[in-house]
Structure 1
Amino acid sequence: MAKNKTTETTASVADFLNSVTDETKRKDSFRLVEIMEEQTGFKAKMWGPAIVGFGSYHYKYDSGREGDAPLAGFSPRKAEISLYLYQDFEEKQKLLVNFGKHKTGKGCIYIKKLQDIDETVLRQLIASSVNYMNNKYPA
């Protein structure tokens, strides 16, 4: 069984975020930490070398693969910030209508900067993600 590459580490979130060279992305990342800590009730932790995660859940797939992952998180990538927020498809679509400038991928929402999005909707997405994952993967 393959080992999950993205696991919680003891690396410093502040050191990681301070290494982000783009000033706007760095400031936005520190602001995202504040927002996500408020919304999830969990302190920021590093997951792997580049994901800032909040809380965790344990998953087990039908294939037998299992592991732990953050309930919510983000990563300041070179092109944009990846938000790791999970909802059922309909809930996500409803919330994203008023979210602002973004793109979506399989499991991510991509934004260029916080200024482009509605912080109230972001907070709703985070709360919805934590609720969804706690229901899907009860402790």
Structure 2
Amino acid sequence: MQPIAKLLTWINFFLFGVEIASNCEIGSHFYMPHVSGTVIGAISIGHHVVIYHQVTIGAKEIMFEYEGRPTVGNHVFIASGAKVIGDITIGDGCVIAANSVVNRSTPVNSLLAGVPAKVLPLKKMPNARLFN
């Protein structure tokens, strides 16, 4: 089954411009509204995750093992151009701003912005939800 998964990964890359590692476990309701230039080399991605274009999620160093790769929690939003690299965990409910570079694990319900990304206050909006 692994060779078929790798073949489909490469076909997806050439047809749609997105690369998703064949070993990455992805939860339900995963959404990528614009896929161009996106690379996903995470260990796992939770459910209700939104990832925009030009996002890179992967290892800090060139390697072919899955150690040293990120884990993305549930209900996470990753904006365009963000980079999530290294052996880190993105907590549930996090929002990663456009063009941010996240290289440290993050607490739940955090807003991350900057290069390198810093944790900023995430204001709760009453009666509004980013995800279902």
Q: TM-score, normalised by structure 2?
A: 0.29
Q: Which has the higher helix share?
A: 1
Higher relative contact order structure (alpha carbons within 8 Å, sequence separation ≥ 6): 1
Q: TM-score, normalised by structure 1?
A: 0.28
